[in-house]
Amino acid sequence: MEKKTLFDKIWDAHVVRSVPHGPDVFFIDKHFIHEVTSPVAFLNLEKRGVGVLYPERTVATPDHNVPTIDQDKTIKDKLSRMQVERLRENCERHNIELHDLGSAHHGIVHVIGPELGITQPGMTIVCGDSHTSTHGAFGAIAFGIGTSEVEMVFATQCIMQVKAKKMRITVDGELGKGVSSKDIILYIIAKISAAGATGYFVEYAGSAIRALSMEARMTICNMSIEMGARGGLIAPDETTFNYLKGKRYSPKGEEWEKAVAEWRNLQTDEGAVFDKEYQFDAADIEPMITYGTNPGMGIKVKENIPSTDGMEGSNKKSYLKSLDYMGFAPGEPIKGKKVDYVFVGSCTNGRIEDIREVANFVKGKKKADNITAWIVPGSREVEKLAHEEGLVQILEEAGFKLRQPGCSACLAMNDDKIPSGMYAVSTSNRNFEGRQGPGARTLLASPLTVAAVAVTGEISDPREVF
């Protein structure tokens, strides 16, 4: 029998037909939408006079542009308000499930999907958002699509894509103290570069990955796109099943047993061949931070910013342009640099586990005076748990400001912007120029490192602070 990777198994089961010398017609089980990348798709659908084929397969939530204060009031920004209203109208007209602002399950689309048990092993999932790869943590094929494809999914529940090549990244061994899944993925991206996995779909494997919680696995899969990968996935196991059990949309009773039995088969066959393989040792990974303007520009907190030795031409120019934007010099240490903002949130690290981690470490401490500290839960559910567990009180006593759920300063489409020239250490996923506001300088790190920075007011290694 042909040996297949997990990716092959799921992909092949969803091919309606293959166009000769062209793409596959690829069936989509679940489709998430939000207010920013869906309106034009709905509009074009109407222009064509076509309806939504399977509305029950689409779930919507407004997350990208929504304010994170006063969510019960009318949105002040006119354009944002229009997008959110348009989403409401479209969902109503096409009979699509909407988790609206203020409702019990409102939140960032990649946080609520898993929370509700919509995301399940073996599924194909798309959304007009590149961090859809998050859902791969459950052993699903999940990836971001453009608005034209959103329209295709509405109209036909299919898109047309050429199957990606396969990469496996194995991380074996045990993580050291103070090192988390965010450090794993920042380490991997730094090793293989921001474009190193372009054209591939990645499977993460190895003992260090298997030891992670679902939340931590989501953090890893989330950032697959930051090394150019189409998506990333992790084979489901007991951790996955335990997480999903009892969730709102998870199968129940006999159906559950049947589903789990099927999910157990979602493994890469022994001897299956990948187009590319990488192996890393967990013991080599330490707290990481980025210093430049793409997520591949990451180093260990204790290291120096790389010098320009060996660089030339446009490579060197681009590198210097990037450091110039950041206000850093080649070869200097990153530790000890003054910071202005910290941001805990986003679909990468805005889950309850992340907030617990930060609260746990700042408990009884105070943020430094020069720091503005924002903490934005990924969903209402996370917000509720944070209150119930007393985390909010701990964080507020430490000087953090808790805001309401949304993408917030991850992409700064709303008012949550880092002022020009200021430094923010963030748990989000992108440090592009202006990502957190025009002129803002972003450094990506784990929730733990962010907590350490909040307390010291400068770039710090969390292992030295607590």
Partner 1 sequence: MAYDKFNILKSTVVPLPTENVDTDQIIPARFLKATEREGFGDNLFRDWRYDVEGNPKKDFVLNDPTFSGKILLAGKNFGSGSSREHAVWALYDYGFRCVVSSFFADIFKNNCLNIGVLPVTVSAEFADVLFEAVENDPSTEVEVDIEKQTITLVSTGASESFDINVYKKENMKNGFDDIDYLLNIKDEITEFAVNR
The nearest distance, CB 68 to partner 1, in angstroms, is: 15
346 touches ligand SF4 by CB under 6 A: yes
Tell whether residue 91 is among the known ligand binding residues.
no
Q: Which does 346 bind (CB under 5 to 8 A by kind): partner 1, ligand SF4, none?
A: ligand SF4
CB nearer ligand SF4, residue 410 or residue 444? 410
108 touches ligand SF4 by CB under 6 A: yes
CB nearer partner 1, residue 128 or residue 287? 128
Q: Which of 10, 101, 297, 347 binds ligand SF4 (CB under 6 A)?
A: 347
CB nearer ligand SF4, residue 129 or residue 357? 129
The nearest distance, CB 434 to partner 1, in angstroms, is: 5
Instruction: Give the tokens for residue 77.
Output: 């920004």
Interaction residues for ligand SF4, span 36-65 (CB under 6 A): 63-64
Cβ neighbours for 341, distance < 8 A, ≥ 6 positions apart: 371, 372, 373, 374, 409, 418, 422, 423, 424, 425, 426
CB nearer partner 1, residue 15 or residue 368? 15
Q: Which does 50 bind (CB under 5 to 8 A by kind): partner 1, ligand SF4, none?
A: partner 1
Q: Cα separation of 108 and 139, whole Å?
A: 20
Q: Which does 108 bind (CB under 5 to 8 A by kind): ligand SF4, partner 1, none?
A: ligand SF4
Distance from the Cα of residue 396 to its chain's centroid:
25
Contact track, ligand SF4, 120-139, x by CB under 6 A: ---------x-x--------
Identify which range of 223-231, 313-321, 386-394, 403-411 contacts ligand SF4 by CB under 6 A. Answer: 403-411
CB nearer partner 1, residue 191 or residue 363? 191
Tell whether residue 221 is among the known ligand binding residues.
no
Q: Cα separation of 33 and 54, whole Å?
A: 14
Contact track, ligand SF4, 357-396, x by CB under 6 A: ----------------------------------------
429 touches ligand SF4 by CB under 6 A: yes
Identify which range of 118-126, 310-318, 406-414, 446-454 contacts ligand SF4 by CB under 6 A. Answer: 406-414
The nearest distance, CB 359 to partner 1, in angstroms, is: 29
The nearest distance, CB 221 to ligand SF4, in angstroms, is: 12
CB nearer ligand SF4, residue 108 or residue 418? 108
The nearest distance, CB 179 to partner 1, in angstroms, is: 26
Give the dihedral of Cα atoms 80, 86, 92, 93; nearest 10 deg: -170
254 HSE (CA, 13 A, CB side):
0
CB nearer partner 1, residue 344 or residue 411? 411
Tell whether residue 158 is among the known ligand binding residues.
no
The nearest distance, CB 296 to partner 1, in angstroms, is: 8
CB nearer partner 1, residue 80 or residue 427? 80
Q: Cα separation of 202 and 199, whole Å?
A: 10
Q: Which long-range contacts does 308-315 make (Cβ < 8 Å, 24+ apart)? A: none
CB nearer ligand SF4, residue 90 or residue 414? 414
- Give helix 214-222 / helix 352-362 axis angle, nearest 10°: 110
Q: Which of 407, 448, 452, 453 binds ligand SF4 (CB under 6 A)?
A: 407
Q: 126, 365 in Cβ contact below 8 A?
A: no
Q: Which of 101, 184, 234, 411 binds ligand SF4 (CB under 6 A)?
A: 411
Q: Which residue has the tokens 């939504």?
A: 52
CB nearer ligand SF4, residue 392 or residue 407? 407
Identify which range of 41-49, 76-84, 169-177, 405-413 contacts ligand SF4 by CB under 6 A. Answer: 405-413
Rounded to the nearest 5 degrees, what angle is found at the Cα of 287, between the Cα atoms of 285 and 291? 110
Binding site for [4Fe-4S] cluster: what residues are annotated? 347, 407, 410
Binding site: what residues are annotated? 347, 407, 410
Could you list the residues that contact ligand SF4 (CB under 6 A)? 63-64, 108, 110, 129, 131, 346-347, 407, 410-411, 428-429
